[in-house]
Amino acid sequence: MVTSKKQAGSSFRFVIRPLRTKNIASREIAICLEDEISLSLGELSLVSPISGILIMPALMDEAIAPIPPDYVGYQSSDNSVTVGTKIDFALWERSSVLERLAIMTNNVLDSIDKIPGKYLLDQDREKLRVVVDEVQSRLVLRFTE
């Protein structure tokens, strides 16, 4: 699992890497979410058995490439869970920056909810959901400045 520089010393890794077709502006929103979530996670104590989560929102133009099916999988090599969930391409394309932030945030929240309880304990799931909601609120302010 690739981690951002800000997470390198953290024991729990939270990574967002969109699967996207060419010319789709999703990377900036994903990086902002990932960085802010990672900073917030540094203050939390998580007790789940996994050491990280990789979220891969699928934002694909079907005219260019097929959309992969939704996916949840455990990677024993680094004790992490990978979740891939589709984002509606047409909705994304016609959305404003703030709407795209909401779409990406909802994808992250949906992905967190799809992780089985044997990997992500309910108490940690709730902590992550709170962090993601708080981060979205902070980013709304940043994107409207």
- Give the whole-angstrom CA distance, residue 67 versus residue 86: 8
Residues above pLDDT 70, as percent of the chain: 91
Q: What are the C-alpha distances in Å from 121 to residues 44, 95, 104, 124, 134? A: 14, 34, 23, 5, 20
**Which pLDDT score, from 0 to 100, does residue 23 have?**
62
Mean pLDDT for all residues in the chain: 89
**Which pLDDT score, from 0 to 100, does residue 92 have?**
92
**Which pLDDT score, from 0 to 100, does residue 5 have?**
35
**Which pLDDT score, from 0 to 100, does residue 111 have?**
98
**Which pLDDT score, from 0 to 100, does residue 70 have?**
96
Ranges of beta strands (E only) in the chain are 13-16, 19-20, 52-59, 71-75, 80-86
**Which pLDDT score, from 0 to 100, does residue 139 have?**
95
pLDDT in tens, the chain (145 residues): 434 333 334 589 999 999 888 766 778 899 999 999 999 998 788 999 999 999 999 999 888 888 899 999 999 999 999 999 999 999 999 999 999 999 999 999 999 999 999 999 999 999 999 999 999 999 999 888 7
| Tokens representing residue 100 in the block | 């795209």
